[in-house]
């Protein structure tokens, strides 16, 4: 499976991929490009990835979720140039019951943010651009 | 003990995002004393022009997986030094 894609992400195919007659609950998450960051107006952003490792890390995260809960998981992360409102990341988890679906979906998205080697460069309305560093909380102070 | 040639190994290190900008390259080739760890890689990277912009303990990956600084490095490994992750 290609977890990292330059194509526009649609949620419906991800849900279809995890749906099954025995799975009565599907939880999904969409991460969208926000129009503000640190008080500045964001116009666009560019996601870049260390693609082979991002694929490997996504595969490990999905396998972990599917090992820990009785779920089927689908995951996509976009790379390239995105506009405000575009889907940057999508996850769907299907299970017999909602608790496992919610838990697995939450796990997957949190681990993606924590572990997958992807970076974003934001372009602001004032003409500046910066590589976003989530660890630098005082970046825009 | 006779004076000997210090064994060395050459590795290619991949750089991304802000670190690629800092070093002005998406990969660099480093010749390291052997044995070497990822910490050795980082130390040599930080000695290059622009390398001082890297933190002393950046995230590192070896063969497509996150790896600790004390992991040994072997010839042929795919090494990467990763800026703070910002996916999601």
φ/ψ of residue B86, rounded to 5 = -140, 30
Query: Which pLDDT belongs to residue A61?
Result: 98
Chain A residues inside the 8 Å CB shell of B61 = 50, 53, 117
What's the length of chain B?
88
Q: Supply the ipTM of this predicted assembly.
A: 0.92
A61, containing H or E segment: helix A51-68
d(CA A57, CA B53): 27
Query: Which pLDDT belongs to residue A6?
Result: 97
Interface test with A, best of B23, B66, B81, B85 (most A CBs within 10 A): B85
Query: Is the predicted pLDDT of residue B6 greater than 90, yes or no?
Result: no
Contact B61 A120 (CB under 8 A): no
Per-residue model confidence as pLDDT tens digits over B70-87: 999 999 999 999 999 999
Q: Are the beta carbons of A91 and A108 closer than 8 angstroms? A: yes
Per-residue model confidence as pLDDT tens digits over A49-108: 999 999 999 999 999 999 999 999 999 999 999 999 999 999 999 999 999 999 999 999
Query: Which pLDDT belongs to residue A141?
Result: 37
Per-residue model confidence as pLDDT tens digits over B22-64: 999 999 999 999 999 999 999 999 999 999 999 999 999 999 9
Query: Is the predicted pLDDT of residue A140 greater than 50, yes or no?
Result: no
Per-residue model confidence as pLDDT tens digits over A4-45: 999 999 999 999 999 999 999 999 999 999 999 989 999 999
d(CA B78, CA A133): 24
> CB within 8 A of A82, min separation 6: which ones?
A33, A44, A45, A46, A47, A88
Per-residue model confidence as pLDDT tens digits over A96-133: 999 999 999 999 999 999 999 999 999 999 999 999 99
Q: Which residue of B has its CA nearest to A133?
A: B84
Contact A113 B85 (CB under 8 A): yes
Of A53, A88, A119, the CB nearest to B17: A119
Query: Which pLDDT belongs to residue A1?
Result: 58
Of A50, A89, A114, the CB nearest to B16: A50
The owner of tokens 């010749």 is B31
Of B21, B80, B85, the CB nearest to A116: B85
Query: Which pLDDT belongs to residue A16?
Result: 98
Query: Which pLDDT belongs to residue A139?
Result: 45
d(CA A121, CA A4): 17
Q: How far is A97 from chain B (nearest CA, A)?
A: 26
């Amino acid at each position: 499976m290609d977890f990292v894609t330059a194509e526009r992400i649609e949620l419906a195919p991800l849900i279809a991929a995890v749906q099954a007659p025995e799975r009565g609950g599907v939880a999904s998450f969409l991460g969208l490009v926000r129009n503000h960051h640190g008080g500045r107006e964001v116009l666009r952003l560019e996601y870049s990835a260390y693609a082979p490792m991002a694929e490997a890390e996504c595969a490990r995260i999905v396998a972990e979720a599917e090992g820990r809960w009785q779920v089927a998981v689908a995951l996509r992360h976009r790379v390239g140039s995105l506009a405000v409102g575009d889907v940057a990341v999508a996850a769907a988890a299907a299970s017999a019951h909602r608790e496992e679906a919610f838990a697995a979906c939450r796990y997957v998205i949190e681990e993606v943010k924590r572990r997958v080697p992807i970076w974003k460069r934001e372009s602001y309305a004032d003409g500046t651009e910066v590589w976003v560093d989530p660890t630098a909380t005082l970046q825009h102070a | 003990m006779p004076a000997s040639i210090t064994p060395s190994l050459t590795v290619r290190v991949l750089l991304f995002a802000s670190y690629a900008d800092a070093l002005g390259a998406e990969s660099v080739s480093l010749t390291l004393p052997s044995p070497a760890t990822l910490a050795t890689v980082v130390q040599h990277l930080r000695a290059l022009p622009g390398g001082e912009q890297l933190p002393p303990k950046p995230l590192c990956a070896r063969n497509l997986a996150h790896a600790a600084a004390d992991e040994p490095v072997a010839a042929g490994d795919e090494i990467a030094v990763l800026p703070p992750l910002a996916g999601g």
